[in-house]
């Protein structure tokens, strides 16, 4: 009995050590895979500001910006055997009065659109209905890594989130830019975002900013048709 406990302990200890070493090697292998993400196009296609309420029972009215955009990006190099999912998101950034301009320290930053791109190895974890799930799984049948999923091409995409500001005002805001970001979620290891500078085999995401634009004035009534170009 006594020596069985000791053996069990030793076996468990050995198993843990091996598991951690393997995990560490897998995590470190990320560094060896080059990352060369690129952005072909990021531009706004339609801008609109409307008045609305933050939720149904609120009496306060706020201004909401609805920013439609087009995006072409190739993030396929971010998919490796240790990639669980890629979280891609587009933020709108604008300075406050007296604040600094855009950049990592833009004073106002809000996500307008995001997308979870799972690696085929993580498809079963995605939060999808049965039909969409079947479609997703079929799209990468037989593959455990599918870099094609990293190729994004969006045309006149509606934003997922209408953005506002704590002051309740966004209309006619100047110097707004859109910025594309990504976050690589590994199966094990360090989480990474688009970095500001090149790092060994990983290059930064260049050209991921749109041109500066100005949000329009409030529409008095929600009109049916809005201009197609910005």
Partner 1 sequence: MLSSLQNPRQAAAQLMNFGLILSTAFMMWKGLSVISDSPSPIVVVLSGSMEPAFQRGDLLLLWNRNLVSETNVGEIVVYNVKGKDIPIVHRVVRKFGLGPDAKLLTKGDNNAADDTELYARGQDYLARQDIVGSVVGYIPFVGYVTIMLSEHPWMKTAMLGIMGLVVVLQRE
Partner 2 sequence: MATSQEKITVYNLADLKNTSDDAIPNYLNSLGFRQSHHLTDVRLALGYSAFALAAACFAWDYQLGFDSTKYFTAAAVAAYTLLNGALTLWVVYAERGTVYVGTSPPSAGGERTVRISTSTTKGVPTYHLTVEVTGGKKNGGVEVLKVARAFTEWFDAAGHFVAAPFQAMLAGSVPVIGKADPKRAAAAKKESGGDDATPAYTPEMLDVLAQANVSVVGSAAEEATGAEAAGKKGGKRRKA
67 contacts 159 by C-beta, under 8 angstroms: yes
Q: What is the dihedral of CA 79, 115, 213, 156, to 10 degrees?
A: 100
Name which of residues 94 to 153 contact partner 1 (CB under 8 A). 96, 99-100, 104-105, 107-111, 114, 116, 118, 122, 125-127
Residues in the chain: 230
Residue 15 touches partner 1, criterion: CB under 8 A:
no
**What minimum distance in Å lies between the beta carbon of 131 and partner 2?**
48
Which of 137, 158, 181, 219 forms a contact with partner 1 (CB under 8 A)? 181
Residue 85 binding result from partner 2, partner 1, none, given CB thresholds of 5 to 8 Å by partner type: partner 1
Residue 84 touches partner 1, criterion: CB under 8 A:
yes
Choose among 117, 118, 125, 100: nearest CA to 177.
100
Return the beta strands (E) in 8-53 as ranges: 38-52
User: Which helix H or strand E contains 6, and what residues bound it?
Assistant: helix 2-29
Side-chain half-sphere CA neighbours of 126 within 13 A: 24
CA 130 to chain centre: 24
Specify the residue, 7 or 206, whose C-beta has the smaller distance to partner 2.
7
**What minimum distance in Å lies between the beta carbon of 229 and partner 1?**
28
Specify the residue, 135 or 155, whose C-beta has the smaller distance to partner 1.
135
Residue 26 touches partner 1, criterion: CB under 8 A:
no
Residue 22 touches partner 1, criterion: CB under 8 A:
no
**What minimum distance in Å lies between the beta carbon of 2 and partner 2?**
6
């Amino acid at each position: 009995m006594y020596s069985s406990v000791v053996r069990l302990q030793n076996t468990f200890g050995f198993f843990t050590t091996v598991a951690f070493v393997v995990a560490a090697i897998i995590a470190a292998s990320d560094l060896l895979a080059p990352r060369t993400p690129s952005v072909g196009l990021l531009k706004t296609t339609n801008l609109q500001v409307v008045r609305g309420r933050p939720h149904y029972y609120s009496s306060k009215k706020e201004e909401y910006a609805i920013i439609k955009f087009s995006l072409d990006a190739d993030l396929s190099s971010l998919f490796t055997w240790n990639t669980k999912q890629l979280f891609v998101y587009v933020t709108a950034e604008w300075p406050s009065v007296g604040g600094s301009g855009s950049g990592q320290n833009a004073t106002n930053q809000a996500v307008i659109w995001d997308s979870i791109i799972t690696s085929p190895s993580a498809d079963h974890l995605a939060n999808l209905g049965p039909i969409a799930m079947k479609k997703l799984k079929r799209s990468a049948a037989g593959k455990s890594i599918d870099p094609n999923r990293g190729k994004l091409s969006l045309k006149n995409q509606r934003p997922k989130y209408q953005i506002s500001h704590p002051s309740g005002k966004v209309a006619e805001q100047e110097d707004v830019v859109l910025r594309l970001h990504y976050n690589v979620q590994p199966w094990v290891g360090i989480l990474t975002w688009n970095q500001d500078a090149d790092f060994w085999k990983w290059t930064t995401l260049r050209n991921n900013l749109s041109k500066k634009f100005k949000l329009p004035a409030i529409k008095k009534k929600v009109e049916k048709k809005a201009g197609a170009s910005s």
